[in-house]
Amino acid sequence: MNDRAELSALASRLGLWLDEGAPETGLALFTDDAEARTLGGVAKGVKALIAQAQKNHKVPTQHFITNKLIELDGDRAVIQANLLVVFANEEGPRLLGERYELSAVRADDGWRISRVQVGRPVWEIANAA
């Protein structure tokens, strides 16, 4: 698999991990010193990042990460993408459209995410039922 395909798959695995919530999968996605800046706050270090994701995803979710633009620079890369998240709340689904910027580095075992930056929502629909 080439670098662009691996990086695209890495971003897709991030969404799947957020939906499934398995902590051990997160360990394989991120560098040890990864940082996340999201609506849920700032987390530094892979364990803090996993804890933040678990805290902010208490209801079932489905993440759609699309339109990935990948910039490669040797063993570093930046992935910009659209993010659509569906939160399955009891009151009805909440839909959220955002932009992701992921930084990644090449590790011995493949690409890993070193930074997650999520901007303010582009749009949001609460209780869309």
Nearest to 78 by CA among 86, 70, 90: 70
CATH code, domain carrying 84:
3.10.450.50
Q: What is the pLDDT of residue 45?
A: 95
User: Is the pLDDT confidence value at 120 over 90?
Assistant: no
Residue pointed to by tokens 């910009």 = 80
- What's this model's pTM, rounded to 2 decimal places? 0.91
Q: How many domains does the chain contain in total? A: 1
Q: What is the DSSP string of 19-88?
A: HH--HHHHHHHEEEEEEEEETTEEEESHHHHHHHHHHH--S-EEEEEEEEEEEEETTEEEEEEEEEEEEE
pLDDT in tens, 33-79: 999 998 888 999 999 998 888 887 778 999 999 999 999 999 999 99
Domain that holds residue 57: 3-125
Arithmetic mean of pLDDT over the chain: 92
